Every structure is written in structure tokens, then in C-alpha cells.
Structure 1
Amino acid sequence: MTELARDAAAGLDGAVGAGGQAVLDHLVALLDLEKIEENIFRGVSPAHSPVRVFGGQVAGQALVAAGRTVPSERKVHSLHAYFIRGGDPSVPIVYEVDRIRDGRSFTTRRVTAIQHGKAIFALSASFQKEEEGLEHADEMPDVPGPETLPTYLERLTEFPNLPEFRSRPRPIDVRYVNDPPWVTRETGRPSPRNQVWMRADGKLPDEELLHVCVLTYASDMTLLDSPLARHGVYWDLDRVIGASLDHALWFHRPFRADEWFLYDTTSPSASGGRGLATGRFFAQDGTLIATVVQEGLLRVRR
């Protein structure tokens, strides 16, 4: 393991419950994969991890691996991924990149994440050279600005039954627009939408792919809260077994992940032990920057 990888693995653990630039710097280090061979990269997980590797982490690292094999003038515009097995945070993850196609306008890459000799995650990503074309976009919902809202930890202080949530390091600053699902669970007033402001909690380098990968990391946060909130149940407070099954992201316009963006999510359907969630990302000026869809395993034991 390289010195950078050791720092990345240990750094988030050393800042338990904290946020800010130091924690964000360790996330950036986690996304700075080690190249071990042509088309083969290695990443690590923070020492302070849950039982499984966080899905946003493996998606972000896989996109870094794909992007490292693509000319910088071609920007990622979409990714489609499947979570195959739970990742083991105690060992490195090997990312193998398959250079599917290099066309005149588009480049396609497929990435497989491997641990213990088995695939745990598979991602396909498409990159495109910049082009002009038709332009339209949905309008951002009318919501309060992020500076007027309490921080995530301030929300948690109102609810002492979630100590494990409070202990996690937080490289992403999250501000709930509506009441968090652990609150609506108690009030009995579930919301059909889950809206949060987000940004990287510090300053990121001026590397466009890194900003895209940080948003990819953040896109797996709060998304599956949407189907749970509609039924008044929540992680750790109820007997919920959940995991991301697949994840798709479309990137529409340039953005900075260290500036505020609104994550507006809802759940159109839940059935068969699965819940579907969709989300839209808006920059603070109202620009639609990305769209996400995810299906998750959601088993609730009454």
C-alpha cells in the first residue's frame, strides 16, 4: 500500500464525527487511485467504515479508474452501475478497466471492481467531446437557501437515538430542506420528497473529473431515504435491511462539487422488497446539473 493510500485509509478514521477541509482532503486521497498496471488501479477504504464499503465510494473510485484512461477533453456524461456483492472495507479494491470503444465523439469504458477474486461492482461510463445542441432543463424547486438551514449534526442533536450516525466523519456538508426522515417517522407526517442541500465540506482542486466523482460519491447519500420516508420507517430505528442494487447518473452541465447543490429526490415505486428512487441535482443558481436513478433492496421486518 502506498503512503497516500495509507493516509487515505487512516485519515477519515482520525476525524470521527468531524467535517471540514481535513476530512474532505482524505476523501480526495481515497479517490486518487494507485495505478498498478496498464488499465488496473487499486483503491482503499477508510479505516472507520461500516460492515460494507459505502456504495458512493466504490462508484466514485470506479469512475476515477475509467476517467484515467480517457483524454481529458472528453467529459463523462453518464454512468450505469450494478452493486454485485458487499465490499470488504478491510482490504484494497482492484479496479480493472476495459477500453470498450474510442470513437470520434464518444468513448466507452467498463470497470469491474474486484475483491477476494470476485467482482463486487461493475460500471459502464460514457465520455463525450464537447458539442453544441438543443438546450432546455427543469426548473429548480423553490426552497430556502442552504445558509438558512441547520447543519446535519445540529439536526441530530434533536434526536439522541442515532448515535452511530453522529459518529461518522462527513466530507459532505448536508442541510435538510424538509424534516429528515427520522423526524417524520416520529411525527407521522412523511414527505413524498426528500430535499437536501449538499456540498463538499471544503475546497476541491480544479480538476473537473474529481468534482464529478465527488458528486457521484454524494449521490448515494440520502437517496434511499425517499422510499423509506413514504412509509415512516428509517435505518437503525426500524428493522430495515437495505443495500444499493444499481445506480445510474447523467451529467448535464459543468459544476463545482464544493459549491452548494440541491439534491431533490422522490420514490415513484416500491414493490417486491425493492424501492426505486430518482433525484435531480441543481446548482444554487437553479441550473440542472445531473439526474440520478437508483433501485435498492429494502426489506422491512415488522
Structure 2
Amino acid sequence: MTTVDDLLNILTLKKVGNNEYNGISKTVGSPNVFGGQVLAQAINAACRTITNGRILHSMHSYFLEAGNLELPITYNVSIVRDGGSFSVRRVTAHQKETTIFILSASFHKKEEGYNHQIEMNNTIKQPEELLSWTDMLEQFGEVIPPRTKEFLQVDRPVEFKPVEVVNPFNKEDLPPFTNVWFKLKGNPTQLDLAVKQQILTYISDYNILAAAMNRHASKAHWGNTQTASLDHSMWYFRDFDFDDWLLYSIESPNTSNARGFAKGNIFSREGKLIASVAQEGLMRPIHK
């Protein structure tokens, strides 16, 4: 995948039955299905059963089994409730007879009310001042650790520009946070809000556990730590566009019991808070 159109081809599911949809997978450099893909495809399935114009405002999910890249994923949607203001859907994802993922999503009719948000950190560098993952691969490919290099070489429909770049050769613990600018490749115009939320959900599973890993960087890295998304929640606040860079600002309040917890806020460049994310992931040291 190299553009937003490629991504939409993956996220848009095929209807195969009553509230039942099939999806295919593309690797992002992992041997298993990318969690963000499953999240976004499940949201796509849930949205297909919303016929009253209500807008996704939150979702909560659990990853139960690693997804097989070679097998299709079937998403079954249960219509839990259509109330006066809110609609709730439950999505279960299967591969053959195995349930790999469950998600609950809530949709809300548009209403007027109070409005406030936290402020974005305006002291960090702008994307024009930073190197992208592609730039790093081109400039430092000869010295980047093999596993990281292999990950960066995968074509993606999103360009990432981290504000804080971790040097894998400096064995020192770092503050438990990270900020990453991101932007879609291709022409992401004329997308409706539901589609934009699905794409944003896909991207939200990138980078989030890095904040938890940073705190233990003197001994932990992606090569000696087994990682996997365990659960993922997201809240959607405001409409937005993908025509400029967006900022994913992430912090990790805790790691314990071979799990890392991280939460993040996604802002427009102008500082509008678009969404918030929370995830706990497996961070299991590999003892050779």
C-alpha cells in the first residue's frame, strides 16, 4: 500500500450476509495482521449498519488472537441498541472458527452543547523541520538495526515524522512520551467523516506503545521484547481533514506485569483536538 486509495481498498469490506462482512489483510512489517487494520475494518462493518446518520463517538475493543495474514477476516455486527440519541453496535471478528477480536462502538446524533479541550504543545518542532521514516531509511539505512530497517522498508499509505528520534545505540532510559506528525499519501480529499474516522483509527495503532518502550530503552527494544496490542479504545471529538499534517501526542503512565499502558491525543496542526486514544499492550521480555 502506498496511497490513501490503497488503504481504502483494504478498509472497505465486502458484504457477504446479513450484517456480515469479509476483509483481507496487508502486512505492515509484522508476521501477523496489523491491529490498526482490524480496528478500522471493524468500524467499517459497524458503520455499514448505521442508517440514521449518527456519528461514531467512541469504541472499545480487545485483541484475542493474532490474525493470520493469509486468511480472510469475517466481521459479524450485532445491533445492540438504537435509542433516541445513541446507537450501539458490537462487532466480532473471526478467522475460520477462531474469534480473534471483539469491538463495541457507540454512535451519537449531532447535538449542540458545551465545548472545551486541552491545548496542544506548541513548542515542539513542526513537520518541515523533521525527518520522515522514509528520510531516515535513506540517510541512515546502513547503520539502522536490521529489524528496524526491515520495518521501515515496507510501503505505507501514511508518512510519519517523529519529533523525538530514539537512537538505538544509546542505551539509556528516556521520558515515557513521544510525539509523531503524520500525513496521508495520495489525495485524501472529499472523504466523509465516517471514512476519515476509520482511517484515523487505522493510524492510531501505530507508535502508541513506543512511549512505554522509551521508559526502558536502556535494556528493552523491539528486538528483545514481544509486543502486541491487547486492547484499544478511542474517542472521536471533532470533524477534521487529512489535507495537512496531524500530531499524535502520546504518553505512558505505567508499565507492569509485562504490559505497557499508553494514551494519546490527536491534534490538527492548528491545535484542534480531534480524538483521544488509550491502549494496553503486551511488553514481554524475551529471555534467550
Whether TM exceeds 0.5 here: the answer is yes
Q: In the TM superposition, what whole-angstrom CA distance separates every residue of 1:202-229 from its partner, at most 9, and x where no partner exists?
A: 2224221111011100000000111111
The alpha carbon displacement at 1:59 in A equals 0.3
- Segments of structure 1 that go 5 or more residues without pairing to the other structure are 1-11, 13-18
Q: How far apart, in 1, do the equivalents of 2:282 and 2:270 lie?
A: 34
The alpha carbon displacement at 1:112 in A equals 0.3
CA 1:149/1:48 → structure 2, altered by over 3 Å: closer, same or farther?
closer
| Map 1:43-62 → 2, pairs under 5 A | 43-46=23-26, 50-62=30-42
- Segments of structure 2 that go 5 or more residues without pairing to the other structure are none
Displaced runs of 4+ in structure 1, greater than 6 A?
A: none
Name the residue aligned to 2:159.
173
The alpha carbon displacement at 1:47 in A equals 6.3
* 1:151 equivalenced with 2:162 (yes/no): no
8 Å contact from structure 1 (residues 244, 294) kept in 2: yes
Superposition RMSD in Å: 1.6
Quick one: percent identity of the two aligned structures? Answer: 39
The alpha carbon displacement at 1:173 in A equals 1.0
Q: In the TM superposition, what whole-angstrom CA distance separates every residue of 1:6-44 from its partner, at most 9, and x where no partner exists?
A: xxxxxx3xxxxxx4x3xx221110011100112000000
8 Å contact from structure 1 (residues 84, 245) kept in 2: yes
Name whichever structure is richer in helix by fraction. Answer: 1
Residues paired across the two proteins, number: 278
2:68 to 72, 88, 93: 88
* 1:252 equivalenced with 2:234 (yes/no): no
Name the residue aligned to 1:8.
none
Secondary structure class of the residue paired with 1:186:
coil
* Structure 2 counterpart of 1:146, one-letter code: P
The alpha carbon displacement at 1:126 in A equals 0.3
Secondary structure class of the residue paired with 2:170:
helix
| Map 1:97-246 → 2, pairs under 5 A | 97-142=77-122, 143-156=124-137, 157-158=139-140, 159-161=143-145, 162-179=148-165, 181=166, 183=167, 186=170, 188=172, 190-204=174-188, 205-232=190-217, 233-236=220-223, 239-246=224-231
The alpha carbon displacement at 1:184 in A equals 5.8
8 Å contact from structure 2 (residues 63, 102) kept in 1: yes
8 Å contact from structure 1 (residues 196, 263) kept in 2: yes
8 Å contact from structure 2 (residues 77, 92) kept in 1: yes
CA 1:248/1:195 → structure 2, altered by over 3 Å: closer, same or farther?
same
The alpha carbon displacement at 1:300 in A equals 1.5
The alpha carbon displacement at 1:80 in A equals 0.2
Q: In the TM superposition, what whole-angstrom CA distance separates every residue of 1:97-143 from its partner, at most 9, and x where no partner exists?
A: 00000111100000000002111000000000100111110000122
CA 1:72/1:222 → structure 2, altered by over 3 Å: closer, same or farther?
farther
